[in-house]
Structure 1
């Protein structure tokens, strides 16, 4: 495969933002490895791509160490190098924290934080072989603004943002960039957990295709981060400078339920 054709691995590629990212990547001339737990869902994504570019399907659960090793083996065997890793797989669960048992908390952190960190580490040699290469971590506005009743999810996205910032500094000198993407509510299967919050807060909701285009434009420009459009982008800026304003507004919202 000619090296001028970018090779990209996308986790959680069976639906939602992951599927949209894969479609957009293929349209931009990249060859894509579709990774996810549900093989039939990956096949559904694959059917939307141009198969003249030799895209591949890698059914795997990134929280499973053996599956992560298999992902690395497949990418090494097929491509020898990896230009872009997109850590998109994630779970969204919303409820008061006392309703979360240990399994629910572990599921959130293993999927949203631990597995992406481990997979990125494991793929480092293949990313290094393709330098300049890039890691793209799909976070959330909730990773900057902690929402009540999404404490576990918000905490996981805060952690992913911290990992992205630290890794960017750690790998800058070796030619591997890191982009952290923080979309707002997106109309996906996972967004069901946000429905009541979206309605009460009158939040904007984006289509997955729009989010994917924004992310790939930022990746192409080498941006360190990409945030949702206004008003959420403005809220994030206020949160960083005057967090008490956002905290007050969210506290009022939480007390109204």
Structure 2
């Protein structure tokens, strides 16, 4: 048996694992002795990540588009067949946005909500019976500081990230007595491809890097902080620079001050 506070031989399933935060989390979990299950849409990219992990042979790639319920059910069966249990589920797959509300089509609004909210809900509901049967485990959601604050150019993204945070809060309350933990992670700016892949108003990838992301935390630093916090059973995990942490603090103490601050900042 792995000791309390250790990831040794624990099974950690990470979505959106082919790049960015998911890849960094996978690398950190593997370093800590976990058996990592990597999920994303592209097999070759997942395999590249798997090969980059410590002890590559004890990890598996399970390909699935998380917005496709049939593929998600199939992926879940594969994970249980190959690993027999799930100790952590990290719902990390996500899609960002860089567009004003007036320029965003309804199709784009729905696409972002589908990836950042509904698909996370469905995967979690699919996996939940295993956690309840085990009477152990932790389910984590990668939300965003945008889900706590709401800024220009990210309306649908902020809304979806806020929605998954509130859904996770309800889940936590419902499973608290079943031995299952629920954590929400709120990254600020981390240096990944998130802004290259962010959708514009027409639903196409933006294709260039934001200055704030370029100057953000290194993904490895982010992953170390998150894994340490999850091992300590923390439920509300804010990871970012001083500006983002200040914004979160102000949002709690004085929402109206925060709204005035947000109007003045350059966020695109």
Q: TM-score, normalised by structure 2?
A: 0.88
Q: Aligned residue for 1:24?
A: 28
1:191 positional shift:
2.9
Q: 1:109: which partner in 2?
A: 113
Match of 1:232 among 234, 244, 255: 244
After superposition, give the CA deviation of every residue in 1:170-225 in whole Å (9 maximum; x if it has no partner): 111111101100010111111345955728xxx96111111111110010000011
TM-score by length of 1: 0.91
Tell me by how many angstroms 1:231 deviates: 3.0
Matching residue of 2:169:
165
| Distance in 1 separating the partners of 2:77 and 2:256 | 48
Match of 1:70 in 2: 74
- Is the Cα contact below 8 Å between 2:193 and 2:209 reproduced in 1? no
Equivalent residue in structure 2 for 1:88, among 83, 87, 92? 92
Q: Which runs of 5+ in 2 are unaligned?
A: 3-7, 199-207
* Distance in 2 of aligned mates of 1:153 and 1:121: 22
Residue 150 of structure 1 is matched in structure 2 by: 154
Contact 2:15/2:93 (CA < 8 Å) preserved in 1?
A: yes
| 2:54 aligned with 1:42 | no
1:216 to 209, 216, 227: 227
SS in 2 for 1:144: helix
Among 184, 205, 213, which residue is 2:216 paired with?
A: 205
CA separation in 2, counterparts of 1:40 and 1:130? 32
Q: Which digits, 9 at most, give the CA deviation of each residue in 1:10-59, with x for residues without a partner?
A: 00000000000000000000001100011121111111013465211111
Deviates more, 1:49-58 or 1:218-227: 49-58
Q: Does the residue aligned with 2:13 lie in a helix, a strand or coil?
A: strand
Q: Is the 8 A contact 1:146 1:155 kept in 2?
A: yes
Distance 1:100 1:197, change over 3 A: farther
Measure the CA separation in 1 of the matches of 2:56 and 2:163: 38
Inter-partner Cα distance in structure 2 for 1:153 and 1:197: 19
The size of the alignment, in residue pairs, is 252
Distance 2:55 2:226 in 1: 23
The whole-number CA distance in structure 2 between the counterparts of 1:9 and 1:253 is 37
| Aligned-partner Cα distance in 2 for 1:17–1:234 | 22
